[in-house]
Amino acid sequence: MFRGSIPPLPTPFRRGQLDEEALRRLVERVVQGGSHGVSVGGTTGEPGTQTLEERKRAIEVVLDQVAGRVPVIPGTGALRLEETLELTRFAKEAGAQGAMVIVPYYVKPNQEGMYRYFAEVARTVPDFPLLIYNIPGRAGVEIAPKTVGRLRRDFPNIVGLKHSSKDLEYLSHLFLEAGRDFLVFCGLESLTLPMMSLGAVGTIAATANWLPKEVALLCEKALAGDYQGARELHFYLLEANEAIFWDTNPIPLKTVLSWMGLLEKEWRPPLGPTTPEVEERLRRMAERYGLLPKEKEVA
């Protein structure tokens, strides 16, 4: 089903509006770079600052540009269950191959509340593959491995989970509860190889927007059991992976992508530009990875 590198795209804006041309450029770059899928509308895409119609339109643009070449797995989660259901239904009807649904954030539900939330999503879109998006640092709560295992047993269309946490012990318990064939994706860039060594099938890493070929190759080597080759790429990518979090994602990502001429350096409030010190670190990082033409002036 799903595997490998699935870049989570940022949402490009121009004068406050969705920049569809830039979004198409981003899609084409990661697909041509060998990525195994594409995601839109996750944390990197600033979904919490967009209307449902904007999020739907971004899904449509990505699906149109991908044109069936790789799976498209939009992020369709929202704080309100009704909005999550609407977006997930839309993704299915628009032709996406699955959806990624974030653990409900801010309200800090208990495990039974999370079970019922994801159960309702699964019932609403039967036969549509769903990934749970576990990101305790943003959501303020973590879905327990036992809850995930219960959901998988009750709803076969819940096929996997994106794990955005440094807790590697979580994965071992998750595989015991949900099965070793449960599709786990790494959600913290620099932990892609460690998670894949435990059984994860790939990564949903923002770094792949900068270096799609290298991230895809790391996943391919790990899946093939070439851990020496994957380890070399792990260390090669380490600085770029860390740079994503030198400020709040997607601020560093969009900053460098703007220097590359792929989108405008624009965010939705309350996000804003980073400091001159971080920009200088990002400039040096981007030059080391060959992301910027040597003669290019970085504004």
pLDDT in tens, 270-280: 999 999 999 99
Q: What is the mean pLDDT of residues 144-169?
A: 98
**Which of 56, 115, 117, 133 is flagged as catalytic?**
133
- pLDDT of residue 299 exceeding 90, the answer is no
Please report whether residue 82 resides in a domain: yes
Please report whether residue 247 resides in a domain: no
Q: How far apart are the first and last CA of the chain?
A: 42
pTM as predicted? 0.95
CATH number of the domain that residue 135 is part of? 3.20.20.70
Please report whether residue 112 resides in a domain: yes
Identify whether 162 is a catalytic site residue.
Answer: yes
Q: State the CB neighbour count (10 A cutoff) for residue 272.
A: 11
Please report whether residue 203 resides in a domain: yes
**Which of 56, 92, 162, 254 is flagged as catalytic?**
162
Output the pLDDT for position 295: 57
Question: How many residues belong to the chain?
Answer: 299
Q: Which domain range does residue 66 map to?
A: 4-223
39-63: pLDDT as tens digits: 999 999 999 999 999 999 999 999 9
Q: Is 7 helix (H, G, I), strand (E, B) or coil?
A: coil
Output the pLDDT for position 1: 85
Output the pLDDT for position 296: 47
Identify whether 106 is a catalytic site residue.
Answer: no
Please report whether residue 210 resides in a domain: yes
Phi-psi region of 184 (alpha: psi -120 to 50; beta: other; left: phi over 0): beta
Output the pLDDT for position 134: 98
How far is it, in rounded angstroms, from Cα 255 to Cα 107? 31
Angle among Cα 292, 296, 299 to the nearest 5 degrees reads: 100
Q: What is the mean pLDDT of residues 191-217?
A: 98
Q: What is the mean pLDDT of residues 113-119?
A: 98
- pLDDT of residue 118 exceeding 70, the answer is yes
On average, the pLDDT of the chain sits at: 96
Q: How many domains does the chain have?
A: 1
* Dihedral Cα 91, 129, 22, 46, nearest 10 deg: 80
Amino acid identity of 247?
D
Selection from 103, 115, 97 nearest residue 38 by Cα: 97
Among 53-57, 179-183, 208-212, 294-298, the minimum mean pLDDT is found in 294-298
Q: What is the mean pLDDT of residues 200-228?
A: 98
For residue 44, say whether it is annotated as part of any ligand binding site. yes
Please report whether residue 73 resides in a domain: yes
- pLDDT of residue 156 exceeding 90, the answer is yes
Q: What is the mean pLDDT of residues 95-122?
A: 97
For residue 132, say whether it is annotated as part of any ligand binding site. no
Please report whether residue 232 resides in a domain: no
Q: Do strands 8-9 and 13-14 pair parallel, antiparallel, or not at all (unpaired)?
A: unpaired
- DSSP state letters, 175-187: HHHH-TTSEEEE-
Please report whether residue 201 resides in a domain: yes
Record the tokens describing residue 86, joined without a space: 């609407």
- pLDDT of residue 297 exceeding 60, the answer is no
- pLDDT of residue 33 exceeding 90, the answer is yes
